[in-house]
A and B are shown apart, each in its own frame.
Chain A
Amino acid sequence: MTPTVSVQREDFDLATEIDALTAGGRDAGAVASFVGLCRDEGGRLAALELEHYPGMADAELRRVAEEAAGRWPLGALTIIHRYGIIRPGGRIVLVAAAASHREPAFAAAAFMMDYLKTRAPFWKREHLADGTLGPWIDAKAADDAAAERWEE
């Protein structure tokens, strides 16, 4: 199984991606997906700007997907991560996993999000509603803890 990984500026369509995930066969009984969106932080944000490390971002997402494929029996995996300017309500990231049963699909989707948060080379910066450039967002200790729970 070769995971589908994409680092792209363009938006993605969830239904199209899920159809593609299960197009190869009829043995999938479950698809779990997660879509991360840009929040407006109570009206404070005009947009998020996502910088990435071209080449390594693709490679690291692929390593995350391959790690998931090694841990659970999965039929197919997709990770899409966008970069550039994303407005509130816009989609930032998709992870989706197809499996025979729901448990590995849910687990793989959660794992991929937790892992990519701390490993995929992307950095968010705030663009504020008043038109000024805000700060780079600090990494959260909670994200490190979420990734570490899979090490147990």
Chain B
Amino acid sequence: MTLKLVYFAWVRERIGRGEEEAQPPPEVATVRDLVTWLKTRGEEYAHAFETDGLVRAAIDHVHVKPDAALAGAREVAFFPPMTGG
């Protein structure tokens, strides 16, 4: 599975890039699994996801919960709670 990952605001700053391609192992089935896997990849990811449940996610431009399945996903976004308006 190849995913495009995109990051915004302080999540982007902590990870140090706005987007990347990732190939998580097959046991990574949900958004929560993906976060757990990313946190093993380096300090920058551990820092971005250090507070459980704070960072929000979207799959292909639609908000999702941590238990959302990654099957069929092309682009997964991670970002802080939104502050528009």
| Binding between chains A and B | yes
Residues of A participating in the B interface, judged by any CB pair closer than 8 Å: 36, 50-53, 55-56, 59-60, 81, 92-93, 113, 116-125, 136-139, 143
Any A CB within 8 A of the CB of B71: no
A123 touches B58 (CB 8 A): no
Any A CB within 8 A of the CB of B9: yes
A53 touches B79 (CB 8 A): yes
Chain A's nearest CB lies how many Å from the CB of B49?
16
A120 touches B80 (CB 8 A): no
* A-B pair number, CB within 8 angstroms: 72
A59 touches B84 (CB 8 A): no
B84 touches A117 (CB 8 A): yes
Any A CB within 8 A of the CB of B37: no
A118 touches B9 (CB 8 A): no
A123 touches B6 (CB 8 A): no
Once the chains are docked, how many angstroms separate the CA of A143 from the CA of B82?
10
B9 touches A117 (CB 8 A): no
The DSSP consensus for interface residues of chain A is mixed
A50 touches B80 (CB 8 A): no
B9 touches A119 (CB 8 A): no
Contact residues, B54-71 vs A (CB, 8 A): 58, 61-63
Residue of A113, A116, A139 ringed by the most chain B CB atoms within 10 A = A139
15 pairs, A vs B, C-beta closer than 8 Å: A36-B85, A51-B9, A56-B58, A56-B62, A93-B85, A117-B85, A120-B82, A120-B84, A120-B85, A121-B8, A122-B82, A123-B9, A136-B9, A136-B10, A138-B83
